[in-house]
Amino acid sequence: MEKRISTRELAAVKYTAKIVAPIVAKKNKAKAMIDKWTKEYNTQKTALEGYESGLIAQLGLRTEQVVTRVIEPTGKFDKNGKEVKQTKYVLTDNVRYDSEKNEYIVTIKDEGDKEVAPADTAVVEEDLTGTDEPEVVNPEPVPEPDVAEPDVEETPEPEPDDTTEEQPEEEFEEKFMF
């Protein structure tokens, strides 16, 4: 394919390239950072899946579904004056204890926010072949509530004063010229 452009069109291309050069550099830098963080994310995800594979195979659950990490201050200070904190792993809201059977029941919420409680055990099957990213669904638009606009009284504009003297435009420009 051959495209012919005039010298003026080439000059316009060069001028535009000169203007957009910093934007292109920022775009390329952002793309490099996205690639770097995507690689880091995939590395961490692989490591996490490796550590949690036993739990997933046995229980069908991930650690985030059962416990949450909580860091609490102890009120004590170390020799450098920094506050000593204690890390605890607390059960999430969807885990409850059944004292009769001496077991924990994990309730997992579906995508539709309906609670699904296992009948006898805390084993819930998950699709581990797909990605962890949620599926984007176009929800129905939520209608905005009808809000009555407050009554606003319009105030009449003041009539021009005859005492105000208008300066000619030339004098005004001369006073404020730099």
Do 121 and 73 fall within a single domain? yes
Residue 141 included in any domain: no
Do 53 and 79 fall within a single domain? no
Residue 99 included in any domain: yes
Do 48 and 77 fall within a single domain? no
Do 76 and 102 fall within a single domain? yes
Residue 71 included in any domain: yes
Do 64 and 122 fall within a single domain? yes
pLDDT tens string 120-132: 444 333 444 444 4
pLDDT of residue 125: 39
Tokens representing residue 141 in the block: 């638009």
Residue 53 included in any domain: yes
Residue 35 included in any domain: yes
Q: Is the separation of the CB atoms in 70 and 90 below 8 Å?
A: yes
Residue 120 included in any domain: yes
Do 48 and 71 fall within a single domain? no
What residues have CB less than 8 Å from 155, skipping those under 6 apart?
none
pLDDT tens string 68-122: 999 999 889 999 989 999 999 888 888 888 888 888 888 877 655 554 444 444 4
Which of the four pLDDT bands, split at 50, 70 and 90, describes residue 58?
Answer: confident
Residue 46 included in any domain: yes
Domain enclosing residue 49, as ranges: 9-59
Domain count for the chain: 2
Q: How far is CA 71 from CA 23, 68, 78, 85, 90, in A?
A: 42, 10, 16, 6, 10
Do 24 and 48 fall within a single domain? yes
pTM equals: 0.45
Average of per-residue pLDDT across 62-72:
88
